[in-house]
Amino acid sequence: MLQSRYLLAACLVLLGAATRVLPYVLHALGVSDISNPNGMPWNFSPLGAISLFGGAYLADRRLAFAVPLLALFLGDLGMAVLMKDLSFAFPVIAPITYGSFALMAWLGTWLRENMQRLPSFVMRMAFVGGTAFVGEVIFFIVTNFANWVFQTSIDPNHPPMFPYTFAGLIANYLAAIPFFGKSLTGMALYGTGLFGGYELLQKRAEAPQPAMLADAQ
């Protein structure tokens, strides 16, 4: 049981890290250009779903928080190597990004405490979907606010894209909406695969085996 738990954690780390670094691998190979926002799968990532899933299903809370943060760190490290720029992969807002994923993992632990009270698979999946949406909204608000506050620190060679006014803040959020849509899509697809797949596997494991049914007759 313990071995399977660590195997699951390792698979989640590898999935998160690999998908985070994939756009930069494609860029290094000349397949796509990271400066083209339409040609890259920006924000279409499993990291949010992995954070939520780890918090919900990894009984060891240390693993629940370590898995998404380690996946994020390894992905960022790969970005730094491929781009040959440490500050690109670890900008000034990196701690806020890491903290936001940790918050998503905490939402997963809250989800675990409340999800099992629901009697049906459909109700549990609806509860997961609602929690995932709330987590993505919080992530969107927090990280984009940080991006607006620290935009001059992120790129000190250019003036801020969005003025430090209320109108500039709103413009910052409006510009981020397409990326938010991709985040929601990634959460929906990866979350369905992780949560739905795990629930179905559990259901199958709990179902009586044919031999057991034969013995019962």
> Over the chain, what is the mean pLDDT?
85
The whole-angstrom separation of Cα 30 and Cα 33 is: 7
Torsion angle (degrees, nearest 10) of CA 169, 174, 180, 181: 170
pLDDT of residue 210: 47
* Residue 119 buriedness (CB in 10 A; 0-12 / 13-18 / 19+): exposed
Question: 3-class DSSP state for residue 14?
Answer: helix
pLDDT of residue 209: 46
Question: 3-class DSSP state for residue 130?
Answer: helix
Question: 3-class DSSP state for residue 30?
Answer: coil
Q: Are 58 and 8 in contact (CB under 8 A)?
A: yes
Read off the pLDDT of residues 63-88 as tens digits, 9 standing for 90 and up. 999 999 999 999 999 999 998 888 88
More confident residue, 28 or 95: 95
**88-106 burial: b if 16+ Cβ within 10 Å, else e:** ebbbebeebbbebbbbbbb
Cα 51 from chain centre: 6
Read off the pLDDT of residues 96-149 as tens digits, 9 standing for 90 and up. 999 999 999 999 999 888 887 877 878 888 888 999 999 999 999 999 999 999
Residues in the chain: 217
The CA distances from residue 90 to 57, 74, 81, 144, in Å, are: 29, 11, 12, 16
pLDDT of residue 37: 62
pTM confidence score: 0.85
- Return the closest-CA partner of residue 13 out of 55, 47, 45: 47
**10-19 burial: b if 16+ Cβ within 10 Å, else e:** eebbebbbeb
